[in-house]
Amino acid sequence: MVDFKITDEQQLIIDNVRRLIRDEIRPLEEELDPDAFSLPESEKDRLVGMVKDMGLYKMDVPTEYGGPGVDLVTRTLVAEELSQHRAGLYSPAYGVFGSGPPGQLYNATEEQKEKYLWPVIRGEKSSFFGLSEPSGGSDPARAIKTRGVKDGDDWVINGGKLWNSGADTADFGIVYVRTDPSKGREGVSAFIVDTDTPGFRVERLVQVLRAHYTTELSFTDMRIPKENLLGEEGGGFALANEYLSMQRIPYSATGLGVAIYAHEMATDWAKQRETFGQPLANRQAIQWMLVDNEIDIRTGRWACLAAADLAQRGEPFRFESSMAKLVSTEGAGRVVDRSMQIFGGLGMSKDLPLERWYRELRIRRIGEGPSEVQRIVMARDLLNIRSGS
């Protein structure tokens, strides 16, 4: 059973991160565009230096790869702190804590690690994740139509991808391709694709509800050397699944951070704003909203920590990871919605970050697996149903 007691070391890390967010990031945001998702380079460099001094730069990179190797439970606690600012949901701390390579690359060959994993760790290269296609994203085993055909020492890939954040600025991507159409999930393979490969094209930047955009990609007779096959042929789906389940936990905690900040703001406002001669906080309607906020936040936090604890101990955690994602993203959406209601008209304005979080949290119920798919995953575990291949 998970022990929810935070250790002294974890508290020290949380305090350091909290100070940086509140004393450095939030004041800087006052000067930025309300929808900005990046800092001016000079400020970013300064803050990256501070994070390196804390020993927390690229905290998810294991020690054997030269990183701090911060464990998953601690990273989940930190994720909750990192997002407590205006841009925090999708640009936690504006990236000044850095991020490690996509988890799949730790399973790469030594040559692939040399060419892709190490440059990402050194900050020389960035990547994107190419799974979803116009034909769907929730059921990649069936939806992947992008086709890879072996031709001599190469694979020739034709097709396209959708919803690839960062593909327009990335140096390479991990792209999932159907290499055997006669099989379901066992017919999908993962490839490392350099974005300067002939035939690789960003068709358009796709505008969505949030301040950042995503991309639509096309691949036309794109030749990828066989050395760029990641893992086993036909093993792509398993690679993606493991990576997505693990990612889901800190991703969920990030949403909670925004809810915590919104709840703090709403609570302060309820205490100071008076209507009809009394503070809002004296009204039962408002009190219930605040209590419901607190319940949503605590439920989400426990779900995230329970999932992180199981994953860290090497036990099955897929059910808990899906539950954490479902509970925290839906709960965070409700918290922000109630907080806007408490603020009234001001809650709708761009003077406050609430409207931005409201838009972004709506996406969160879809991104990284919609709420309905999380329920399907949990139902399969409960009922011991094997998903169709």
Partner 1 sequence: MRIRKPWTEWDDEINFKSLPGAMGVFEIADEDRKTIYIGKASGKSPFGLRGELFLCFADTERLEDANWTHPKMGQVLPTIKEKAKYYRYEVNHMYYSRWIEILTRFNEDHGRLPPANLEDQEDIPKLGRYHWKTQESAMED
Kindly list the catalytic residues.
368
- The DSSP-derived string for 250-265 is HHHHHHHHHHHHHHHH
Q: Phi-psi bin for 20: left (phi > 0), alpha (psi -120 to 50), beta?
A: alpha
The residues that touch partner 1, with contacts defined as CB under 8 A, are 33-38, 40-41, 166-169, 195-196, 200-205, 207-213, 215, 350
| Comparison of 71 and 168: residue with beta carbon closer to partner 1 | 168
Residue 223, token pair as written in the block? 């030749």
Q: Phi-psi bin for 325: left (phi > 0), alpha (psi -120 to 50), beta?
A: alpha
- The DSSP-derived string for 171-192 is SEEEEEEES-TTSSGGGEEEEE
Residues 191, 227: Cα–Cα separation, whole Å: 9
Q: How far is the CB of 244 from partner 1 (least distance, A)?
A: 24
Q: How far is the CB of 187 from partner 1 (least distance, A)?
A: 28
| Comparison of 67 and 353: residue with beta carbon closer to partner 1 | 353
| Comparison of 205 and 379: residue with beta carbon closer to partner 1 | 205
- The DSSP-derived string for 195-208 is TTSTTEEEEEEEE-
Contact call for residues 32 and 82 (beta carbons, < 8 A): no
Q: How far is the CB of 375 from partner 1 (least distance, A)?
A: 30
Q: How far is the CB of 94 from partner 1 (least distance, A)?
A: 10
Q: How far is the CB of 358 from partner 1 (least distance, A)?
A: 12
> What's the angle, vertex CA 256, arms to CA 32 and CA 295, rounded to 5?
135
| Comparison of 36 and 143: residue with beta carbon closer to partner 1 | 36
> What's the angle, vertex CA 367, arms to CA 365 and CA 372, rounded to 5?
50
| Comparison of 40 and 316: residue with beta carbon closer to partner 1 | 40
